[in-house]
A and B are shown apart, each in its own frame.
Chain A
């Protein structure tokens, strides 16, 4: 899968190609043959990635670990009910109700999860609306316009500027054809396409144009060598779909913890099943006990809580322009320890911009910010005026009309990237360039070509009295210098001697070293005697001087980093996240951008830098001294995986340049081998396999290609790298808060479980029913546990290292033990205190209750005596039992209110965190109380859901325990804060 492309069509001669594809370079294919091939190969389009069928997705929601347990519990209920029916005992349908309730719970939570997933997949579907594309094809010697998906291998097609290349094409002939390969390779510079084979690699050679890249200018004719999924893009896309989706860290955490819960539930259930059998309960009864324990122990509402918490964060992120496709990915950013970022379009603005100028023997820095908020340079020099004139005049690019009100950087320009950069630059510094050009009427022009490496134009002067012509020229700096005899310094023309040439060389090297594309500019006022007005300039003959010109200056351009990126990179660093640049661009440019955004920090040196500084050969440098390292694709090709891992360990600051999509994939894998959670950001098709492979792929929403968006888990709608930092922060926060939510949710499982244990072993009347448990799990406690997701961070989470996915678990031993055996135990005691109070006040003293179960539940015994000698019918006892359920329920609720308050923080005092700062939590508590009241006091509840109106004082009985929970946890936190690292901290901090 990770092999490089093996295409040799670019090396074949035209004749061989004709033979291979049964075609003709002049007449094209025979249309019948084309039709046959179309049938054989299928249409020329990318097959959409195979999705999982909807019913499978839904079924998956119903078949999780906990859901399976619930199914088993429901089955047991149904069996018990069936057996009861079989025995003709139709008095109680409780088991049937419970089975229905359990199934409803599973189905409803399943639907909820499915709905969440469905909603996020819908976002992706909207990217798929592609307009059918037209292509010009020559068949049987005639030109046709047909749908691009009807093209076949061997077809002769024509492309021109503005077209999207309809398939992989071997160029036969071309006139000034340039394509934009940035989505494929990451290079932002346009690439020339010509018939010659220039490189053995199909990706590098000039005579192949790739499917879906844009043709910027010129025209070309070529033979299609690959269509549909067999094109380079298609292969990358299928490479991406071949990469299996990694499980997100949070999914792993939840699975880990669901396994434990399910295991414990079965263990508890099994143990008490055996105990019940030994004590002498009938088999059926023991099975029902098993079921009840499973229901009591399994946190039914937990998965829904987690889903809601994650989707809340997803919503919060969406407001900050991060759209999350996969809910679980919300947390992944928080645990990310390595970000592999693409350069073009992600870190940079993906548009060439003038960044430096050299004139008057000085390097001036231009403003490269997106919104022109930076400072400008000194524009008072005469030389600048001359240079500016050349820049404005010697330029063929122009603004599309009707954009006068738009800010200059946003206007659309017709022309290539560097001319665009220069045009925008002069428009900003000089003003209306179009008008300026009109004033200096153009007399003749030689456009840029690769043999001359310069561009030249001759203009009349603005002043009609001045009869001279002005010749302006720009091009590769060394070629321009060759043609110059003088240099302009502070408006004076000085002879270009060795000293100035050296100064030029230094400046050129400096700017080149910044990874910038440098152009030289010169001009000459033509002698009016020799070239009077109306002189006919001949561009073929060149009847005008092209040497002995006056050198004006150098201008360098770069695709500048986005303004927010350096800050974001720094924030990532303080958050312990390593940012690695992985780009298809040249090493020098990559390194320069890496340095300017802080991926290579100041003072960090590569091995080569150290060698240069110490003037020793590269081999003698101690590699461990070099913090930074730039690796290019060529080196990477020959590297073993271990070697790469070694390099990644050795140098904390890494830049990978000239990388192919496969290599990006390998880099991501190597990082993952180091145990890192890897985020990949990218926008191009070439990034998509890596995006898929990464633990979280982040695609750019505006610049991003569909393939990248499809492969990603998260999309930055504003293309702002800084949003990733927000994502990291939210991810870390949600991890912390999920911990709190889960701790809150788990706690009440113990007071739900203990009634059964006591009921089975001590035979008291049942203190808490299964339906009531379901109400706690799914009704009253959901909102408070969700509200914990709104809790603010306790500390500056962006100054901590990312969590270690193997050590910092979501649910660790300390959390479970503290929730179960300490807070849970207190809640159980509260419940039993209230239970015995309610029983005693109605006439059943605690000691009488012990061992009462058999008589209590005998539905023929209509005159059971209580502690006072009063006689109770079964129905009266049942209502009393429901009263107990309700009282126990209220006890758990009261303690849970205290619990949700203590869960606000894990280390800080609640007073430090603020009681009322989390408004949602306050509302949740009020809501919980209201719901409790409603369940208790709504008429009709006793017979539907087994809730009874209870006396006011029974609400107050659990209060001391609630206060105990609060005080105890404050003491715990105090100890944890005061004595970090102590026994107390280790055992009680979760």
Chain B
């Protein structure tokens, strides 16, 4: 009986499916192994004791001398590997930092776009921008007075005369030359602040309810404020009753930062540089009330109306003077 095996279907291909006998045991072995594991898993309705035991074996398997699944040698190798890797990475990082510092000039920052235009700050500065005191209680305003004195120490006339030179007013004090050369600084004497110098009135008017507040512009290397015209300061009530602030005196001059104090050359070479100040003497402010005051710098290139930064070219503080 012979098969007329001419169909195109399964018959012809069947031979291919024959598997070599070696595969058999392999297939079977795999199953038994799997099952053992499965059994273990099945039994694994773990009690707490089992879990602790398991943790212990994980931490130290005395049978295989393994700690956390690795033998001492294995730990040694892997830690050594990571030591090399991290040493290399640290080396690469240090090299990058070294290269970076080499490339940086110690005198002039690479970029100054984030720090300019200048911000404004006041003194006294204790905790915030709320200057509140009671005239009749010296303990409430003494901290302000002390802060002012501390701040103005560097502006003492004799110190200024000793360290700094007198410069021609009304023009920038440009010092070209070698970058690393020490730069001269112009004198800004405390006495220039007149009523707010603390010389005649050591209480800076706080005892009379007419406080002095010093205003300074943030230092920026190479910055020339006002482009030739000095930057001036004006103050006003920020919101509300305009009559709360009747009069403010500005010293020196009309409340301007003289050009001769600019540009600034950095703390490395411009060692004795003292920021010029404008003193605001609030001679008639509404008492027993919060008076929000905003002082602005005015000048070309000064930005004082950005909503995101309330200290850029302006400053807001409140005066709250109790009699």
A and B are interacting partners: yes
Q: Given the known A-B contacts A868-B109, A875-B310, are A860 and B128 also in contact in the complex, defined by CB atoms under 8 Å? A: yes
Given A674-B38, A870-B219, A872-B119; A865-B267 close (CB under 8 Å): yes
Q: Say yes or no: is A603 at the interface (Cβ < 8 Å to chain B).
A: yes
- B115 near A866 with CB under 8 A, answer yes
B139 located at the interface, meaning its Cβ lies under 8 Å from any Cβ of chain A in the complex? no
Asked if A200 lies at the interface with its beta carbon under 8 angstroms from chain B, I say no
A window 370-387: CB within 8 A of B: 373-378
Q: Do B1 and A567 touch (CB < 8 A)?
A: no
Task: Note all chain A residues with C-beta closer than 8 A to B45.
Answer: none
Decide if A377 touches B17 in the complex (CB within 8 Å): no
Let me know if B58 is at the binding interface, CB within 8 A: no
Mark interface residues in A872-910 (1 if CB within 8 Å of B CB, else 0).
111110011001000000000000000000000000000
User: How many residue pairs, one in A and one in B, have C-beta atoms under 8 Å apart?
Assistant: 229
A residues near B267, Cβ cutoff 8 Å: 865, 868-869
Whether a CB of chain B sits under 8 angstroms from the CB of A41 is no
Cβ–Cβ contact B18 & A601, under 8 A: yes
Contact A862 B8 (CB under 8 A): no
**A567 touches which one: B2, B8, B13, B311 (CB < 8 A)?**
B13
CB-CB nearest in chain A for B109: A843
**Given A826-B89, A860-B127, A876:B10 Cβ within 8 A:** no
Residues 812-865 of A at the B interface (beta carbon under 8 Å): 821-822, 825-826, 829, 832-833, 836-837, 840-843, 845-846, 860, 862-863, 865
Taking the closest CB of chain A, its distance from the CB of B242, in whole angstroms, is 26
In whole Å, how far is A232's beta carbon from the nearest beta carbon of chain B? 34
Q: Which of B97-105, B161-169, B198-206 contacts A (4 or more CB under 8 A)?
A: B97-105
Given contacts A602-B18, A883-B114, contact A873 B119 (CB under 8 A): yes
Give A728 Cβ to nearest chain B Cβ, in Å. 17
10 further interface pairs, Cβ-Cβ under 8 Å (given A840-B101, A870-B218): A363-B1, A363-B2, A367-B7, A596-B10, A627-B24, A649-B28, A841-B111, A873-B119, A876-B312, A987-B78
Q: Are B27 and A510 in contact (CB under 8 A)?
A: no
CB distance from A367 to the nearest CB of B (A): 6
Give the distance in Å from the alpha carbon of A883 to the alpha carbon of B85 in the complex: 30
Q: Which residues of B contact A561 (CB under 8 A)?
A: 9-10
A596 contacts across to B, CB distance below 8 A:
9-11, 14
Q: Are A602 and B17 in contact (CB under 8 A)?
A: yes
Instruction: State which of B29-37, B186-194, B251-259, B283-291 sits at the interface with chain A.
Output: B29-37
Query: How far, in angstroms, from A860 to B100 measured CA to CA in the complex?
Result: 31
Q: Chain B: which residue is nearest A598 at the CB level?
A: B17
- A373 and chain B: residue at smallest CB distance: B8
B9 to chain A, nearest CB (A): 5
**Assembly CA distance A863 to B108 (angstroms):** 18
- B14:A595 contact, CB within 8 angstroms: yes
Q: Is the CB of B4 within 8 A of A362?
A: yes
Interface string of A713-743 (1 = CB under 8 A from B): 0000000000000000000000000000000
The reply to whether B97 and A862 contact each other, CB–CB distance below 8 Å, is no
Task: Let me know if A964 is at the binding interface, CB within 8 A.
Answer: yes
B96 interface residue per 8 A CB criterion: yes
Q: Does A415 contact B (CB under 8 A)?
A: no
CB-CB contacts below 8 Å: A617-633 with B: 627
B1 to A873, Cβ gap below 8 A?
no
Q: Give the chain A neighbours of B128 by CB distance below 8 A.
A: 860
> Is B129 in the interface zone, CB < 8 Å from A?
yes
* Chain B contacts for A964, CB-based, 8 A: 92
Contact of A842 (CB < 8 Å), options: B85, B107, B111 = B111
A784: interface (CB < 8 Å): no
Given contacts A366-B7, A567-B13, contact A842 B93 (CB under 8 A): no
Taking a contact as CB atoms under 8 Å apart, the answer to whether B4 and A364 are in contact is yes
Instruction: Check B3–A365 contact: CB distance below 8 A.
Output: yes
User: Nearest residue in B to A863 (C-beta to C-beta)?
Assistant: B121
Q: Are A367 and B1 in contact (CB under 8 A)?
A: no
Bound form: Cα–Cα A366–B309 in Å: 91
Query: Which residue of chain B lies nearest to A371 when distances are taken between CB atoms in the complex?
Result: B8
Residues of B close to A841: CB separation below 8 A:
104, 109-111
19 A-B residue pairs with CB within 8 Å: A369-B8, A375-B6, A510-B1, A569-B17, A570-B16, A596-B11, A601-B14, A804-B34, A825-B89, A836-B100, A837-B96, A837-B100, A860-B128, A863-B121, A868-B109, A870-B264, A871-B121, A876-B114, A876-B115
A573 interface contact, C-beta 8 A: yes
Q: How far is A845 from B268 in the complex, measured between Cα atoms in Å?
A: 14
Per CB-CB distance, the 7 closest pairs between chain A and chain B, nearest first, are: A875-B309, A869-B267, A374-B8, A873-B119, A871-B218, A675-B34, A598-B17
- Given A821-B82, A872-B115, A873-B309, A375–B7 Cβ distance below 8 Å? yes
Q: Does B315 contact A (CB under 8 A)?
A: yes
Q: Which of B309-323 contact A (CB under 8 A)?
A: 309-312, 315
Are A873 and B89 touching (Cβ within 8 A)?
no
Known A-B contacts A876-B114, A880-B114; the reply to A840 vs B11 at CB < 8 A is: no
User: For residue B77, which residues in chain A have a CB less than 8 angstroms away from its CB?
Assistant: 983
B43 in contact (CB, < 8 A): no
In the assembled complex, B19 has its CB within 8 A of some CB on chain A: yes
In this complex, the member of B4, B38, B77, B216 whose beta carbon has the largest number of chain A beta carbons within 10 angstroms is: B4
Q: For the complex, what is the distance from the CA of A373 to the CA of B9, rounded to whole Å? A: 9
Interface membership of chain B positions 67-84, coded 1 if the CB is closer than 8 angstroms to chain A and 0 otherwise: 000000000011001100
B86 proximal to A (CB < 8 A): yes
Q: Flag if B17 contacts A873 (CB, 8 Å).
A: no
Q: Is A601 a contact of B19 with CB atoms below 8 Å?
A: yes
Compute how far the CA of A872 lies from the CA of B223 in the bound complex, rounded to whole angstroms: 14
Q: B239 in the interface, Cβ–Cβ < 8 Å?
A: no
Do B119 and A862 touch across chains, with their CB atoms under 8 A apart?
A: yes
Instruction: Contact check, A832 vs B93: say whether CB atoms are below 8 A apart.
Output: yes
Contact check, B312 vs A875: say whether CB atoms are below 8 A apart: yes
Contact A375 B218 (CB under 8 A): no
Chain A window 946-989, contacts with chain B (Cβ cutoff 8 Å), 1 for yes, 0 for no: 00000100000100110010000000000000000001000100
Task: Report A5-37 CB contacts with B as 1/0, cut-off 8 Å.
Answer: 000000000000000000000000000000000
Given contacts A375-B8, A561-B9, contact A862 B120 (CB under 8 A): yes
**With a CB–CB cut-off of 8 A, which chain B residues contact A378?**
4
Closest Cβ–Cβ distance, residue B275 to chain A (whole Å): 8
A866 partner residues in chain B, CB cutoff 8 A: 109, 115
Closest CB in chain A relative to B4 CB, distance in Å: 5
Question: CB-defined interface of B109-148 with A at 8 Å, one 1/0 digit per residue?
Answer: 1111011001111000101110000000000000000000
Assembly CA distance A126 to B8 (angstroms): 38
Whether the Cβ atoms of B37 and A675 lie closer than 8 Å is: yes
Interface contact A870-B9, CB-CB below 8 Å: no
Q: How far is the CB of A638 from the nearest CB of chain B, in Å?
A: 23
Q: Is the CB of B97 within 8 A of A875?
A: no
A560 interfacial by beta-carbon distance below 8 Å: yes
Task: Judge whether A960 and B92 touch: CB under 8 Å.
Answer: yes
Chain B residue nearest in CB terms to A951: B111
Residues of B within 8 A of A175 (CB): none
Complex Cα distance A367/B4, Å?
Answer: 12
Do residues A602 and B111 form an inter-chain contact, with CB atoms below 8 A? no
A673 sits at the interface (CB 8 A):
yes
B308 within 8 A of A: yes
Contact residues in B for A650 (Cβ distance below 8 Å):
28
Distance of B2 from chain A, by nearest CB (Å): 7
A652 close to B (CB within 8 Å): yes
Is A418's CB within 8 Å of the partner chain B?
A: no
Contact digits for A548-575, partner B, Cβ 8 Å, 1 yes 0 no: 0000000000001101011101100100
CA distance A111 to B177 in the complex (A): 67
- Least CB distance from B237 to A in Å reads 21
B5 on the A face (CB < 8 A): yes
Given B1, B41, B101, B114, which contacts A507 in the complex, CB threshold below 8 Å?
A: B1
B312 and A873 form a contact (CB under 8 A): yes
User: A829–B93 contact, CB under 8 A?
Assistant: yes
CA distance A652 to B220 in the complex (A): 83
Residues from chain A with a CB closer than 8 A to the CB of B273 are 869
Closest A residue to B220 using CB positions:
A870
Q: How far is the CA of A916 from the CA of B275 in the complex (A)?
A: 60
CA A602 to CA B13, docked complex, whole Å: 10
* Most chain B Cβ neighbours within 10 Å, of A627, A675, A825: A675
